[in-house]
Structure 1
């Protein structure tokens, strides 16, 4: 397959996040582009590098959002299960109280209600259980059962409160990530405006237009997938060519990078995790030189972008906002790993 060298210039990524200084440079450059300064005077190399940084920051924000959202979903499930257990325990307590209440009824019919048995009808189970030992008609076994149930109910209530608190924390975190994502979207809009101000030749050099649905589709060679599920996932990914990049989406109408991989393997009956970082660890690592169609290719040291290898040095992926699902060379940016699912 060769060394898969990165073509120059790709204009997609240099692996750096946005900094305050970089944003200032972009703002100044955008202001210059809007004014009467000739387009030829713009620092084109700096512009392309800045847009690369913005795209990388946007993708990292999206993956962070996906991770927080997935954690929130897991926690919601934990809270729901805890509530179910609490309800079951409460039903057992109620059943036991009803059985004990029948003792009070029997005593009343035989000659009056012992005042101590009025505790059976207390609305405060803690108060009742604290004083249950004084009830002559309650066996030690029954009292022990109630105490066990009370302790279980206390533990489950505490678990529910802790889970609900954690859920609130994660929900706040998710909203913070979403706010950061909106901020990055604004930066991307500024970057697009700046790119649109460049001469056509410069713009064409940066904008790697999608080849999907056109006559110059890449030659994928004769490589075969490593498994039937990989073949099915690759076929699903091909069916998504041309669909838009959408923040946090996992299909079928739009995708972010990890969403496309999750959806494609989902069509093959394989449940991949949601984020590109987790997908990197979702199978066996293989050398890039041994990549086969259907393998996942992660990029950058933090694995914040993922694509699917399709053969002959080509991958399919959801690149960035404004660019549809398409083919690109596997060496479009530094590869951090290849995963065979």
Structure 2
């Protein structure tokens, strides 16, 4: 008969090991939960969004520069192609002349001149013709030289056109990459903001609105103000201390008329703007042509340094070490600018960031 034996109870050592393993698992589990990254606070999200907006603005100015370069290259390519077409017509005309000369030589050059003289019924007439033939030979050389010169010009122009087309293609690809990078940064910033509660988003928006209102109040403190119709009927425009009829006064008035307009990267008006687009548009209304990017606008006038005390209404204030932001000085330590995606054209303190240059167009 088979013997029935009870299973041996687990030894104390084994129980201890299993208990310790279970305890460790529970501890690790709870530790993992305890160390999970907490959701970022409102201030942390704002800091990240601000950083992304700054990065996007840098890429936006690079995007603007690429757009301008692409447009200039397209004009250059068009001009060169026109030159090539005209040069080709010139070469074709000379080729026609060479063809006629070749045909004439074929018709007459087969019989040596001495034989033609022997066969000629009028030797005197032939000798006169022979003199003319020598002159034709000299003329042929001139035509051939002209052909070589014109053909050389044509080849050079074709080569230049090929180079410009290659440069245009590279610029277009860079433009696409810059646009995608800006869009990615904006999308990331938007996602961060959307991760906040509605209450937190409202608080951030209220803080921005308060800052803009305080900047406007400071700008109006030293000068009378007037009410003007706008999309925001409560807005008060700043009457700056600048002579009427000047380019500066006209540019400021134009910028003030766009307060509340949305920021949009790559936009230069009339309904939305990025930072340099607003400057270009405002000064265009004053009859002054500015370059498209903030970096180029840095060299679009007299540089009066970096001390805000030297600024006059109408000056361009260039910010950051890479000159990636620009605003319009309106007096009393305030500027009008297009800040970043999600914001609108507004007043702000002129010392909101490090000043790279103050430029008087």
Q: TM-score, normalised by structure 2?
A: 0.70
2:310 alignment partner in structure 1: 290
1:56 alignment partner in structure 2: 54
Distance 1:225 1:77 in 2: 39
Is 1:230 matched up with 2:231? no
Q: CA deviation at 1:214?
A: 5.5
Distance 1:265 1:247 in 2: 19
Distance 1:154 1:171 in 2: 26
Q: CA deviation at 1:242?
A: 1.6
Is 1:305 matched up with 2:325? yes
Q: CA deviation at 1:98?
A: 2.4
Matches within 5 A, 1:13-28: none
Q: CA deviation at 1:303?
A: 1.4
Distance 1:227 1:337 in 2: 26
2:281 alignment partner in structure 1: 263
1:248 alignment partner in structure 2: 266
The answer on whether the counterparts of 1:288 and 1:337 sit within 8 Å (CA) in structure 2 is no
Superimposed CA distance per residue, residues 226-282 of structure 1 (whole angstroms, 9 cap, x where no aligned partner): 981111111111111121111201011111110010011111111111111111111
Aligned match of 1:47 in 45, 48, 54? 45
2:20 alignment partner in structure 1: none
RMSD: 2.7
Q: CA deviation at 1:296?
A: 0.7
Q: CA deviation at 1:170?
A: 0.8
Check 1:276–1:49 CA distance in 2 against 1; reply closer, same or farther (3 A cut). same
Distance 1:83 1:200 in 2: 54
The answer on whether the counterparts of 1:60 and 1:304 sit within 8 Å (CA) in structure 2 is yes
Distance 1:57 1:225 in 2: 37
SS in 1 for 2:172: helix
The answer on whether the counterparts of 2:240 and 2:313 sit within 8 Å (CA) in structure 1 is no
Higher relative contact order (CA 8 A, sep 6+): 1
2:297 alignment partner in structure 1: 279
The answer on whether the counterparts of 2:84 and 2:157 sit within 8 Å (CA) in structure 1 is yes
Superimposed CA distance per residue, residues 85-104 of structure 1 (whole angstroms, 9 cap, x where no aligned partner): 11111111112122333435
Check 1:175–1:201 CA distance in 2 against 1; reply closer, same or farther (3 A cut). closer
Distance 1:145 1:79 in 2: 26
The answer on whether the counterparts of 1:317 and 1:325 sit within 8 Å (CA) in structure 2 is yes
Q: TM-score, normalised by structure 1?
A: 0.74
Check 1:147–1:199 CA distance in 2 against 1; reply closer, same or farther (3 A cut). closer
SS in 1 for 2:283: helix
Aligned match of 1:326 in 346, 351, 356? 346
Q: CA deviation at 1:112?
A: 6.9
Check 1:54–1:206 CA distance in 2 against 1; reply closer, same or farther (3 A cut). farther
Is 1:316 matched up with 2:336? yes
Distance 1:150 1:201 in 2: 70
SS in 2 for 1:241: coil
Superimposed CA distance per residue, residues 190-247 of structure 1 (whole angstroms, 9 cap, x where no aligned partner): 13214555547853564336558364747x4652159811111111111111211112
Distance 1:202 1:243 in 2: 21
The answer on whether the counterparts of 1:236 and 1:267 sit within 8 Å (CA) in structure 2 is yes
The answer on whether the counterparts of 2:193 and 2:201 sit within 8 Å (CA) in structure 1 is no
Superimposed CA distance per residue, residues 277-320 of structure 1 (whole angstroms, 9 cap, x where no aligned partner): 11111111124212122111111111111110111122111111
